[in-house]
């Protein structure tokens, strides 16, 4: 009869009738009636065990489906769960799996209902129910496979209510993560990657909610990580990376709230680097990441921490060796989470960083930040080369890669350490197939402004480094615009009109002429190579858009350079012409050269 009521959707009747069955089975023992909801376990009585467990499963389902806001019913479910264990052990394996799975499924629905209305219930009840539901999932193979689906649903519901008290969200989400983490026994656990994905989900949600919550979550993740220092180092590492990322987010947010007139870059830098313990911990974390990544592919011969690895040259076998490291995509996610606030901070004080010479107290911490950027970029390059992960994770990593590469370059300009590596990372971004026009324009503005600042501070060599990259980005953007214009018959986008592209090419030539002027003041080495490269890029654009005006700024700059090198008018005949300079180019240049007699 109970099953018929269930099919008809009469869950209140199911609840009542199932308890009547249990009461009859319990008998007339007054002592038993007061202290227990189920009869005493009778070993070997499989038929009675089946009736008891079936009735309990029906009650669980009735509570789950009715979704009433009565905490007494949920508490009774927990009491029944505590008592039914003995009866479950009497059943044979197949029946046990079937009924236990039904109970766990219903418990999961109950837990979701409690979480959805968490503020209506006692917080300890909600947390305890979720914790026991996780534990029950692990008691059978069939239910164990569904525990992360349950956890994702709970967290999704939990973060789905914007008006909920964030303290409730923090307590429940951290409890769910802690319950899941307590089930791990060693690093080989197959669910480790899914757990890291949940940590990443929660960390991003709390970061978006505001810094007042990040501090508390950071502390809880750190406490959770401490449990696994020796038992599961990978778990300890990832949790600490997220904890540190949240901690830096808090500091960054506080700096951003300070009114501009009340703060200076000096003060911001001092405030960020004031906590020595945080930065010492980060040094340790980066060392742990490097120990997992190994020494394969270190192309720089530098120290292991932050050594840049060029995975584009890796063989398939070496990629397979690296894949022995479990959860590498999740390591990269954690590093990305860490690098985001670090990049924001570097950008906010970039002028002070590239110009200041007396920053001895901050130099060590800047090197640590630089190492973090390189670690993340190394991880991204590895994933691009050696994994098939081409979905949303790669798209998100691309933008973060851009920010980390630029952050590394800014820090390198200040420290003069691994500058070639950092510049190469920016070049990787410039030449990547995923780069978009707006991102290229952002890079152009950032690099050009840095170059101008350094030029005005008479740091010409550093200015050249920034302007050299600016030149490369400019022509990459020209190339992208020209191809987009040619491949469509008409466009409503002003950036892709022929006139707009011609103006942009003129601006690119002006920037390059400025770069050549500074390069000539620093050293004449490679100046001819650079001007040939610039003109070849112009010719490529001119091949696509025939109306493109000649590179007047570049020609004028070349004449200026040659004139300064040959002050004696009698020696004018020894000047190098652009035609002879370009004659060695592999590109066909005559048609383009005729535009600039």
Q: Nearest-CA neighbor of 86 among 53, 124, 47?
A: 53
Q: Are 547 and 498 in contact (CB under 8 A)?
A: yes
Integer Cα distance of 116 and 118 in angstroms:
6
- For the stretch 306-324, pLDDT in tens is 344 443 444 344 454 444 4
10-38 per-position pLDDT tens digit: 888 889 999 999 999 887 555 555 578 89
Residue with tokens 């467990």: 53
Mean pLDDT of the chain: 84
**Contact in structure between 87 and 52 (CB atoms under 8 Å):** yes
Confidence of residue 70 (pLDDT cuts 50, 70, 90): confident
Separation between Cα atoms, residue 211 and residue 251, nearest integer Å: 8
The model's confidence at residue 122, banded by pLDDT at 50, 70 and 90, is very high
Alpha-carbon distances, residue 172 vs 67, 105, 119, 168, 234 (angstroms): 19, 19, 11, 6, 24
Q: How far is CA 353 from CA 257, 320, 455, 474, in A?
A: 21, 40, 15, 24
> Which tokens hold the place of 238?
């990832």
Rounded to whole angstroms, the Cα distance separating 402 from 428 reads: 9
Residues 165, 169, 175, 180: what is their CA dihedral angle, to the nearest 10 degrees? 170
Residue closest to 57 by CA, chosen among 26, 93, 88, 24: 88
What is the predicted pLDDT for the residue at 294?
60
**CB of 462 closer than 8 Å to CB of 454:** yes
Task: Tell me the DSSP string of 295-322.
Answer: STTB-S---STT--B-GGG--HHHHHHH
The two structure tokens encoding residue 179 = 């319950």
Paired with 309 in beta bridges are 298
| Domain extents in the chain | 1-181, 184-435, 467-597
What local confidence, expressed as pLDDT, does residue 596 receive?
46
| Token duo for residue 228 | 């696994």
| 152 vs 573 pLDDT, higher one | 152
CA distance 276 to 283: 11
Q: Is the pLDDT of residue 440 over 60?
A: yes
pLDDT reading at 61 higher than 50: yes
Rounded Cα gap, residues 476 and 431, in angstroms: 7
Residue environment code for 183-212, b if the CB has 16+ CB neighbours within 10 A, otherwise e: ebeeeebebbebbbbbbbbbbbbbbebebe
What CA–CA distances, in Å, run from 495 to 430, 437, 545, 549?
19, 9, 15, 17
Q: What angle do CA 370, 373, 376 make, to 5 degrees?
A: 150
**Top-confidence residue, 35 or 159:** 159
Q: What is the spatial distance between Cα 418 and Cα 374, in angstroms, rounded to a whole number?
A: 10
Kindly tell me the sign of the dihedral angle through the C-alpha atoms of 114, 120, 122, 124: positive
Are 586 and 539 within 8 A, CB to CB?
no
Residue 8's pLDDT is what?
Answer: 80
Round to whole Å and give the CA distance between 151 and 154.
5
Furthest C-alpha separation in the chain: 125
Please, are residues 308 and 299 in contact by the beta-carbon 8 Å criterion? yes
- Out of 76-80, 351-355, 415-419, 476-480, which region has the weakest mean confidence (pLDDT)? 351-355
Give the residue, 195 or 231, on which the prediction is more confident: 195
Residue 421 above 60 pLDDT?
yes
Token reading at 484: 């987009």
- How is residue 276 written in tokens? 């020595």
Q: Is the pLDDT of residue 270 over 60?
A: yes
- The residue-averaged pLDDT of 156-171 equals 90
| Cβ–Cβ under 8 Å, residues 262 and 296 | no
- Is the pLDDT assigned to residue 7 strictly greater than 90? no
């Amino acid at each position: 009869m109970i099953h018929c009521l269930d099919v008809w959707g009469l869950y209140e009747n199911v609840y009542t009738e199932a308890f009547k069955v249990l009461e009859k089975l319990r008998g007339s023992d007054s002592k038993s009636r007061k202290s227990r909801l189920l009869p005493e376990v009778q070993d070997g009585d499989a038929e009675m065990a089946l009736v008891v467990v079936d009735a309990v499963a029906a009650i669980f389902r009735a509570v789950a489906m009715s979704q009433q806001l009565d905490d007494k019913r949920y508490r009774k479910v927990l009491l029944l769960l505590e008592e039914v264990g003995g009866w479950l052990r009497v059943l044979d394996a197949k029946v046990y799996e079937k009924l236990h799975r039904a109970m766990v499924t219903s418990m999961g629905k109950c837990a979701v209902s409690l979480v959805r209305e968490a503020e209506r219930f006692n917080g300890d009840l909600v947390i305890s129910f979720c914790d026991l539901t996780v534990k029950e999932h692990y008691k059978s193979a069939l239910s164990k496979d569904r525990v992360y689906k349950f956890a994702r649903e709970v967290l999704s519901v939990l973060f789905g209510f914007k008006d909920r008290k964030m303290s409730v969200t923090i307590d429940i989400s951290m409890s769910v993560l802690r319950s899941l983490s307590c089930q791990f026994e060693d690093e080989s656990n197959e669910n480790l990657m899914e757990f890291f994905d949940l940590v990443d989900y929660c960390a991003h949600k709390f970061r978006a909610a505001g810094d007042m919550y990040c501090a508390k979550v950071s502390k809880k993740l750190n406490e959770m990580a401490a449990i696994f220092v020796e038992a599961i180092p990978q778990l300890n590492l990832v949790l600490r990376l997220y904890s540190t990322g949240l901690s830096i987010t808090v500091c960054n947010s506080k700096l951003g709230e300070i009114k501009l007139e009340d703060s200076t870059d000096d003060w911001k830098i001092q405030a960020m680097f004031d906590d020595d313990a945080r930065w010492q911990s980060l040094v340790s974390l980066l060392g742990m990441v490097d120990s997992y990544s190994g020494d394969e592919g270190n192309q720089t011969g530098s120290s292991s921490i932050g050594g840049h690895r060029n995975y584009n040259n890796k063989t398939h076998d070496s990629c397979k060796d690296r894949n022995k490291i479990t959860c590498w995509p999740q390591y990269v996610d954690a590093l990305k989470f860490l690098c985001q606030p670090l990049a924001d901070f570097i950008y906010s004080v970039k002028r002070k960083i590239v110009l200041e010479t007396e920053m001895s107290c901050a130099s060590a911490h800047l090197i640590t930040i630089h190492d973090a950027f390189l670690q993340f970029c190394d991880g991204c390059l590895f994933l691009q080369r050696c994994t098939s992960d081409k979905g949303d994770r790669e798209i998100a990593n691309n933008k973060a890669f851009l920010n980390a590469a630029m952050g590394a370059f800014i820090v390198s300009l200040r420290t003069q350490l691994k500058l070639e590596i950092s510049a190469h990372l920016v070049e990787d971004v410039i030449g990547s197939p995923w780069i978009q026009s707006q991102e290229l324009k952002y890079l152009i503005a950032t690099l050009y402004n840095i170059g101008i600042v350094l030029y005005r501070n008479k740091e010409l060599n550093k200015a050249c480094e920034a302007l050299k990259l600016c030149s490369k980005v400019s022509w990459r953007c020209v190339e992208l615009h020209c191809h987009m214009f040619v491949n469509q018959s008409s466009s409503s986008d002003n950036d892709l009109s022929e006139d707009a592209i011609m103006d942009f090419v003129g601006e690119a030539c002006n920037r390059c002429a400025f770069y050549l002027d500074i390069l000539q003041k620093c050293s004449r080495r490679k100046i001819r190579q650079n001007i040939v490269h610039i003109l070849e890029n112009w010719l490529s654009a001119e091949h696509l858009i025939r109306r493109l005006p000649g590179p007047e700024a570049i020609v004028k700059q070349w004449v200026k350079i040659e004139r300064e090198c040959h002050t004696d008018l009698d020696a004018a005949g020894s000047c190098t012409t652009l035609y002879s300079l370009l004659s060695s180019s592999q590109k066909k240049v005559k048609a383009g050269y005729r535009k600039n007699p």
